[in-house]
Structure 1
Amino acid sequence: MKGKDRWNDLFELAMYVLAGGCFVYFLVKGNGAKVFQAVLIVAVLQLIRLLVKWTKTTMFTTLRFCVLLFIFVTMFLANEFGYYGVIPYLDKMEHLFSGVILCFIGLMIYSKATRQPEGTEPPSSQVAVWLCLFFSIAMAGVWEIFEFATDHLFGLNSQNGSLLDTMTDIICGTCGAIITTGYLALKARKRALPLVDVR
C-alpha cells in the first residue's frame, strides 16, 4: 500500500467486505434486489479501478476518498440499507456532493489533457475553472438522462415521475459545481499557479 493512500485502500477493502456480507445476508433472506445491489457495488468499485488503470491516470488522494465516500453513502446507506426514508433530503445532498466530485474529475481530465513538459509555460487556470464548471453541470444533466432512460425502460422510479425532482437534482449538482469552482478559482488566484497543481 502507498503511505498516503493507505486509508483509502482500507476504506475500499472494508466496502468489499461489507458488500460480501450484504450479499450473503440478503441471499439468505431471499431479497434479490438487495443481492443485485451488493454485486453492483463491487462492479462499480472494480470499474473505477479499471478506468484508472486503462487511462493511466493517478487519482489524487482527496478525490479518491470523496469518490469512495460517495459510493458508500449512495449505494450502501441510501440503497442497500434504505436510508432514503430516514435522512431527509439525502438524495439532494448526494447531488450537491456529486457536483463537487465532478468538478475535481474535470480538473483531473484537464490536467491530463494539458500535461506540459517540465520548464514550459503552464496551461491557463481560467480555462481549467470554466472546464470544471461546465463538465460538472453537463454530467448532472447526463445523469438525469440516465435515470429517465432506466425509469422508462425498466419500470424504475428514480425520478419519482416528477419534473420537479429532476430539475431540483440538476440545480443541486450545479450549486455544488459553482461552490467548488469558486473555491478553485480563489485558490488559483492566491497562488498565481495553474489549477493542475491542486491537491
Structure 2
Amino acid sequence: MKTKRNYGFNDYFELFLYALAVICSIYFLIRGDMQRTLQPILIILVLTFIKVLINKSRIPISTGLRFSVLAFIFVTMFFANEFKGYSFIPYLDKIEHLSSGVILFYIGSLILELINKNETNKLNVKTIILFSLFFAIAMAGVWEIYEFTTDRLFGLRSQNNSLVDTMGDIICGSIGAIFTSIYAYKNFKVNFKVSSEVIGDSDNL
C-alpha cells in the first residue's frame, strides 16, 4: 500500500515557483516580450532538472538546503531577472552572494556526509562546521576565478574590471556562510547525522 505523502513548506514553495513561472510566461507572451517569456521556461527546466537529479541519485537533501536553493532561484531568476530587480534594488547582486554563501555551506555539509557516509556522527562538531564554512568561502573564491576567466576570454564584464566588486562578492558570500555556521553550531544536536543536525531533517522530493 502506497503511503500518503506529507507536503511541507518547501513543497508548496516549489509549487508556487512553478505556478509563478507559468503565469509570467503567459503574461509576457501576451505582451510580446520573448526574452521574459522564455526565462520562466528556463526556470521550470532548472526546477525539474534539480528534482530529477535528486530523485535519481537519491542524495539526502536536507530541508534547509532545499529551501536555500529554491529561495536562490526565486531571488536570482525571478526577482532579479524576470522582474528586473537590479534596476530598483541597490546591491541586489551582493544579496545574491550572501545567499550563495548559505547554500555553499549546506553543500559542504552534504559533501562531508557523502564522503563519510555512516561515519559522520563520529566526527567532531567543530570539524563539520569548519569544513562546511571553509568550503563555502573557498567556493566563493572559485566563482570569482570563473568570472575573471570568462571576462578575460570572452570580453565580458561580470566583475566590472573592479577589484572592489570582486572582493565585495567574496566577502558577502563569506558572511552568508559565517552566519549559517553560527546558526548550525547553535542547532547542532548530538547523536544525529549531519543532514539532520546541521541543516535540518532530510527533505524527500
Q: So what's the TM-score if we normalise by structure 2?
A: 0.79
- Structure 2 vs 1, CA of residues 130 and 85 (structure 1 numbering), >3 Å: closer, same or farther? same
| C-alpha distance in structure 2 between counterparts of 1:46 and 1:12, whole Å | 10
**Equivalence for 2:96:** 94
1:143 aligns to 2:143 (yes or no):
yes
- Structure 2 vs 1, CA of residues 150 and 80 (structure 1 numbering), >3 Å: closer, same or farther? farther
Cα displacement (A) at 1:141: 2.3
Q: Which has the higher contact order (CA 8 A, sep 6+)?
A: 2
1:1-199 to 2 correspondence within 5 Å? 2-3=5-6, 5-116=7-118, 122-148=122-148, 157-188=157-188, 191-192=189-190, 196=194, 197-198=196-197, 199=200
Q: Are the counterparts in 2 of residues 34 and 80 from structure 1 also a CA contact under 8 Å?
A: yes
Q: Per the alignment, in what secondary structure is the counterpart of residue 21 of structure 2?
A: helix
Count of aligned residue pairs for this structure pair: 194
**Equivalence for 2:203:** none
The CA RMSD over aligned residues, in Å, is: 2.7
Post-superposition CA distance 1:105-127 (Å, at most 9, x none): 2112212222227xx97223232
Cα displacement (A) at 1:72: 0.8
Q: Are the counterparts in 1 of residues 121 and 192 from structure 2 also a CA contact under 8 Å?
A: no
Q: Are the counterparts in 1 of residues 64 and 106 from structure 2 also a CA contact under 8 Å?
A: no
Q: Are the counterparts in 2 of residues 100 and 180 from structure 1 also a CA contact under 8 Å?
A: yes
| C-alpha distance in structure 2 between counterparts of 1:114 and 1:156, whole Å | 40
**Structure 1 counterpart of 2:20, one-letter code:** L
- Structure 2 vs 1, CA of residues 93 and 195 (structure 1 numbering), >3 Å: closer, same or farther? farther
In structure 2, list runs of 5 or more residues that go unmatched: 201-205
Post-superposition CA distance 1:118-160 (Å, at most 9, x none): xx97223232122201221122123334444555666654433
- Structure 2 vs 1, CA of residues 121 and 57 (structure 1 numbering), >3 Å: closer, same or farther? closer
Q: Are the counterparts in 1 of residues 105 and 136 from structure 2 also a CA contact under 8 Å?
A: yes
Cα displacement (A) at 1:81: 0.2
Cα displacement (A) at 1:27: 2.8
Q: So what's the TM-score if we normalise by structure 1?
A: 0.81
**Structure 1 counterpart of 2:89, one-letter code:** I
Cα displacement (A) at 1:169: 0.7
Post-superposition CA distance 1:13-62 (Å, at most 9, x none): 12112112222222333333323322221122122113312331122223
